[in-house]
Structure 1
Amino acid sequence: SCGSETGSLLSPSDHPSMTPEVKVPLLEGRGATPAQTLGNIVVSIVGTGVLGLPFAFRTAGWLAGALGVAGAGAATFYCMLLLLDCRDKLREQETEEDGLGVEQRCHGGNYTYGDLGERGFGPIGRYFTEAIIIIGQTGGSVAYLVFIGQNLSSVLPALSPPAVVLALLLPAEIALSFVRSLSALAPFSILADACTVLAVAAVVKEDVQLLAERGRPFAGRSAFAGLWGVPFACGVAVFCFEGFCLTLALEASMSNRGRFRPVLFQAIVGVTVVYVGFGVCGYLAYGDATRDIVTLNLPDNWSTAAVKVVLCVGLALTFAVMMYPIHEIVEARLLAPGGWVRRRCGGVVQRAALHLSRVAVVAALAAIACFVPAFGDFVAFVGSTVCALLSFVLPALFHLRFVGPTASPWALAVDYFLLLAGLVFAGHGMYTVLAPS
């Protein structure tokens, strides 16, 4: 999700100071075909944020929302290309410069997002980049809990408010957090993706039926609902284009890396078209009654209840996968040389401290989710702040750092535009939350 919302796994680095980054469960080893890579990209991008798109279109208007999603998709694709350009520049330096240390040579030309931060701005650059990744991952995890709480409360009113659902769910999530095998967690990610597809199909089926009954789908629906609705829609759209930090790993997994860019283009275009169609149809079907999670608009019958329950079960299971990078980084800091746990605790106490850290992190995120007032507002906030920094600001900054001296004036102008626009976008998202209502 920005912090990948779609069941992400870790790819540990060879460098002892590096914290692990996010990786999709299908991305194991090298030699992926274009078709496999296309599937990996789609899996890494599409998540539950798509179910908030119709509400974003209601807030912005169907035309403004469509343009916002298309713009977010185009900007995301361009910034992914910027990361690849930065990586290519570092590869050139790796082969041309003398005296590179073993730690740098061991990359073999494969760099992570954190590596770019460190090569460009030193240890501070790495820490800042990885902090943004973890904050984004945390936002995606909280969004999962908010989604589960609101949907199960709608199916079982006896479990209202959503905090009751989260309290009942907490022991199971804590138990799952103790599973340390990535191979054991990976199927949960795939299950969540299948559940999301099922929910989207159920919503589309209901949308089509309602639109057929209305006869005039655009009657009474606003094309442009106001200036301030556009940033909201863009924030939701940016959140939906998650998995950004997987770009370098996905490219490195291909047997023929030269084909990655056209495959990436096909994936982004396809996902953007689906997002626009889903958002427009959802808003046209429900109008001003569109809920922040569109599954809440579905009729109260057994099939809808089954879809919601299956979706929530899948997300609850894959929540442990979402938490994996957070646990890894927390534990890496606790066990770092000179760290408090390593200095003061023995083997058994160390293991207990690590288990306790997992319990504390899961409980803290569940507590945060209890105070999130609305799924749509939260997704827009995370998308317009953390995800904007991760997807637009940092790639433009890295590109200026590595490629800027040899870039064309047009490329420099685009970099500066993305950098400034991303900062303004993030500032606006922060202001809308902190400003008094």
Structure 2
Amino acid sequence: MNRRRIWIGAAVVVIAGLAVASALIYKPAIAPIATPSPDSFDGDLKREGARVVALGDCIVCHTAKDGRPFAGGLPLKTPFGTIFATNITPDPQTGIGTWSEAAFARAVREGVSRDGHLLYPAFPYVHFTRISDHDISAAYAYLMSREPVHASAPANQLIFPLNFRPPLAFWNLLFLRSGPREADASQDAQLSRGKLLVDGLGHCASCHSPLNAIGGEKAGHAFDGGVVDGWEAPPLNQLDAAAKPWTKEQLVTYLRTGRASEHGAAAGPMLPVTRDLATVPVEDVEAIATYILSLQKATPPEGAPPQGAPSKSASPEGAPPASAAVERVAAREATPAEQRGAVLFNASCAQCHGTGSPMQVIGERPTLAFSTAVNGQTPRNAVQMILNGITWHGEDSMNYMPAFSGIYNDRDVADLVAYVRGAYSTRPAWPDAEPLVATLRKEDSAQ
């Protein structure tokens, strides 16, 4: 009798478990609609949608290199393989032309496609779920008014078993807290607005936080820094510990122009983000900067100088004297790598970054002593900058740097980063970067 009860109980548990699993995995399709006319949407709503889409960086991820805007196809590198962004133009066959607003909202809030299949969290619906109903309606109106582009994304290239979507239901159970968020009336209005933008539309933690073994943001480590497309996304909660602590004005300028006078220029995945933020009202960026600066931790990262402390070679005003870089290496015996790197620096870099160069004296470019890449915990971003530079962007040539990947070999690049670290930073020397250079060069060529 007892054995029979055990078997019955086990069967009930199994059935209940299967029922729960089915409920998690199965999502019904939402019926397709006829593609709405762009004229069917209110003009003001479409203009608001342009602002929402820019704040969400939608064009950044959903546009392939040399591709049509929002037509998808961009490869998104993850630890589990490559996911290709989808087409979100109103093309009825390959885009979202037959999606109702309800289907669009479900994808944004729950990570579920119109036909019911689960979306991969490379699409940051765990953050977009916080967006207001009005902003979702505005984004839908804007995207449905774009030019339709017939373009299918390549098949994703993921490891087993993540090439199957059902396990995503359990991932969502762990990390998705569906539903919009409201402004906190008890907080300063600008701070509250900034929190909504950073945590929701801006999804800043998606890039600037470390991930756990299954690709979720590590609990308790929001904004501690991450790695995206081979670049380090630096910690957003340690800006006070920079070689030159960030001010709100500098952060707003950086986010809107891609350059801060005392810090450096945006590059890699961050550069297109700044170009999007240049199109939104300045009050949105000011709110973002206010909230980010409220996140600062009291303890600086290992190896960093105390918060607010000037560089060892800094003048009383906090700016390095003209000969600081030369004196810092000359004050001790330079390593062989630094000696080789100094020769390369003088040949290719000193014209823009050297002491007294026109780019600094006339162009007001910051010294490398303040560079986030040069003062980083690893040489990753310094290597990427040398390999890839900052691409020319038409008339917007303020932030341009030629790529040296075709000029210098792996040893040369490693020597260069050894030299700039030793010459311009007071932080500990990096380990030999040559293996990292080889890895990043290979990854870059595969994109």
Q: TM-score, normalised by structure 2?
A: 0.23
Higher relative helix content = 1
* Larger Rg computed on CA atoms: 2
